[in-house]
Structure 1
């Protein structure tokens, strides 16, 4: 039994880069990640991990941290697992893994997003004896961008995923609980996905609370140039811009000369003043405070406030001298701002209706329409390929009766059989997968159109009241 709720909560999120067979020194690095989390000062109370793909790596981290994070969950999803983990100081009362309806394509097997079944790891954590002493944690890893926006063919997927996790977090906030969303969102600040989260839910990006003027992306993408700012150095990117990925300090992003020195066992030192054009922020902690409601005065007060946030887990492996992951962690401390009697109500609440600009909904709908047209063309091409391979197989079966040599008949049958197997796979993806994806797109489209209609009504009401 938990006697009293905490006065503060320390949160840590890290992409571990634990790809089995592909990530170099995976076992050594993830074991050290566990040890460094255990040695953190102040120690975290809630930890969200991404790309922790294997039970072995999860067990290793749990073994190092179980003395102060006794509760944990390794989330199972997809064919190869979702790679998501939540660790907590307090009991996890409920847990679920919510798969994203739009989540990559099976044909892109070399990327793997579809096969790992990406989604949201959800945990309801009991922090104290009172009914409002609940933290609802949502850990995720959105679809990776393989091209720059707006040319990224997976932009529609990532937008839909941001929409889905936003609905989950908004529902938790309406229950009056402390809500924490964390993970590798594969987006830059104020991108479309970022704006969806901060508009359609009450959650806020902790880094932009403390650093509202921080970078909106990598300097090489002219993000700073557009704002009239100079090239940031590595130290500035960490302390002010909160960059967690592609930092000059991260050994997995070094040039070949530095990598060769590292391979020789040299502890390479990077000057804090070096230009850092590629670094960007892809890892986030969002939070929404639980509220209390005083019936006698009608006042509502936020129960949790942000104390501080920082980039962490920048240390190197003690013997390998490499960074522990290709990402750094994002960390934050939340303070309980008030101590309230149990008589005060804490929800559920009707949250303020906030909407994106109308043109932003139109942008989302245009992306959906464009991607849906692409998938319909893909379905026709895949079914056409199946038809071609089927015709080729039939022609080969007829042709073997007239070929002069047995080895020629064997070659014909081998090629046609292989082609037919490929054609059947294409037909499966065209009929089943593309059909399923189009139906998911239609659901997403309806939700966006519905939100747009409500936004139009609210805008008209605001204009009327203003006039």
Structure 2
């Protein structure tokens, strides 16, 4: 029998220049990984933005995770990395077709080129004999900046979930053991979650062991309708799998408490403390068409503090999953497995979200191209007005205003004519694929 396989995923919150105590925290993350029990065989990191931090973690874990890959994408990099006990045979970075907007430069999702870090890994036993192939997918979906359904990036995140689900399904059909892990920025049973679990035929490791766990924060509408008491911090960790916004995480404290902590005054949070905002955003999905592996354990980890700074190691906790081989199982014929579909109404909801966002972007394209045209007219008008300018300073003001306006108009025109047009084409592809899945669901 093969040995159990231990998997860990963590959003490190390693934003360069922006994340407080970044270098100290990520160095400590490497130290904690090095002493983890059990030691992980595969680790997926998100928001590990700099190679320096990545190499610091690699150095501390190389005795049991000798292989790794830091992934490059976008303008600033996607912040994704995979560490492995076994050699990485193949690797690729697949960027999402729909991935935020360049105009939201203060958010950065588009500039980091979010996508899926893919790694093909062959397991080996202690004698060096190669066994089952693992296909690892590490990702960080587009962040939500408003509450659903008013989140203007809901369409992006749903489309990204569809893309990774397709990658997972292809790997699974090929007979590989599929592991998808990362910060998915979604709550359980959301549209994105349903797409992944249904179309990839993978299971959410946490819900596999905790099927009644929460579907969001206790303050969210989806949880309020369940009419359950506000969970405690301990219950959120052990039963709900909350990895984000926990009262146990110092980076989620209010500014006053954080300031006291930075000055040396700690605040102890007991497990019985009500925890209404905590939710699960980080996941490990497991897909195995052969039925040789099953989820055995899942826990929320990396909850310790930095030993000197007393801050949490990240603004997220980790998800740590153990999958074990099942006795008496053997290869099955993958192609004979029936396709699974969501209810037709769910596809209709996704299409509605897509239509709403498409209409928004069509308006954006018209407005931006109109802005360019208007600024071009103003520029020509100012050039003409210079001929009749009574003073040199008036000519200077006209040229300055027209030049700045034309520059803004050109940028807007490029965004509307190039980026938005490309986005609309990607939306058409996504819409067709969802419509096709809906039609297949109808005919099932």
TM-score by length of 2: 0.97
Alpha-carbon distance, 1:108 to partner: 0.8
| Contact 1:175 1:347 (8 Å CA) reproduced | no
Q: Which residue of 2 aligns with 1:465?
A: none
Secondary structure of the structure 2 residue equivalent to 1:454: helix
For structure 2, the residue ranges without an aligned partner over 5 or more in a row are none
**Partner residue of 1:408 out of 376, 394, 407:** 394
| Contact 2:102 2:111 (8 Å CA) reproduced | yes
Distance 1:366 1:49, change over 3 A: same
Alignment of 1:171-190 (within 5 A): 171-190=170-189
Alignment of 1:18-417 (within 5 A): 18-128=14-124, 133-291=132-290, 302-338=291-327, 345=331, 348-417=334-403
| Two-structure CA RMSD over aligned residues (Å) | 1.4
Distance 1:61 1:23, change over 3 A: same
| Contact 1:224 1:231 (8 Å CA) reproduced | no
Alpha-carbon distance, 1:222 to partner: 3.9
Stretch moving more, 407-416 or 212-221: 407-416
Cα distance in 2 for residues equivalent to 1:213 and 1:348: 30
Q: Which residue of 1 aligns with 2:406?
A: 420
Secondary structure of the structure 2 residue equivalent to 1:7: coil
Number of aligned pairs? Answer: 441
Cα distance in 2 for residues equivalent to 1:38 and 1:53: 20
| Contact 1:215 1:223 (8 Å CA) reproduced | no
Cα distance in 2 for residues equivalent to 1:42 and 1:153: 41
Alignment of 1:448-459 (within 5 A): 448-458=434-444
Cα distance per residue 1:41-68 (max 9 Å; x no partner): 1110000000001111111111111111
Alpha-carbon distance, 1:271 to partner: 1.4
Cα distance in 1 for residues equivalent to 2:76 and 2:323: 34
Alpha-carbon distance, 1:278 to partner: 0.7
Alpha-carbon distance, 1:257 to partner: 3.2
Alpha-carbon distance, 1:6 to partner: 4.1
Q: Does 1:8 align with 2:4?
A: yes
| Contact 1:386 1:427 (8 Å CA) reproduced | yes
Alpha-carbon distance, 1:178 to partner: 1.1
| Contact 2:34 2:60 (8 Å CA) reproduced | yes
| Contact 1:266 1:321 (8 Å CA) reproduced | no
Secondary structure of the structure 1 residue equivalent to 2:395: helix
| Contact 1:393 1:417 (8 Å CA) reproduced | yes
Cα distance in 2 for residues equivalent to 1:172 and 1:210: 24
Stretch moving more, 395-404 or 54-63: 395-404
Alpha-carbon distance, 1:268 to partner: 2.4
Alpha-carbon distance, 1:166 to partner: 0.2
Q: Which residue of 2 aligns with 1:298?
A: none
Cα distance in 1 for residues equivalent to 2:333 and 2:171: 11
Secondary structure of the structure 2 residue equivalent to 1:81: coil
TM-score by length of 1: 0.92
Distance 1:442 1:160, change over 3 A: same
Secondary structure of the structure 2 residue equivalent to 1:49: strand
Stretch moving more, 352-361 or 397-406: 397-406
Alpha-carbon distance, 1:107 to partner: 0.7
Stretch moving more, 123-132 or 308-317: 123-132
Cα distance per residue 1:65-120 (max 9 Å; x no partner): 11110000000001100110000000111111001000001111111111110000
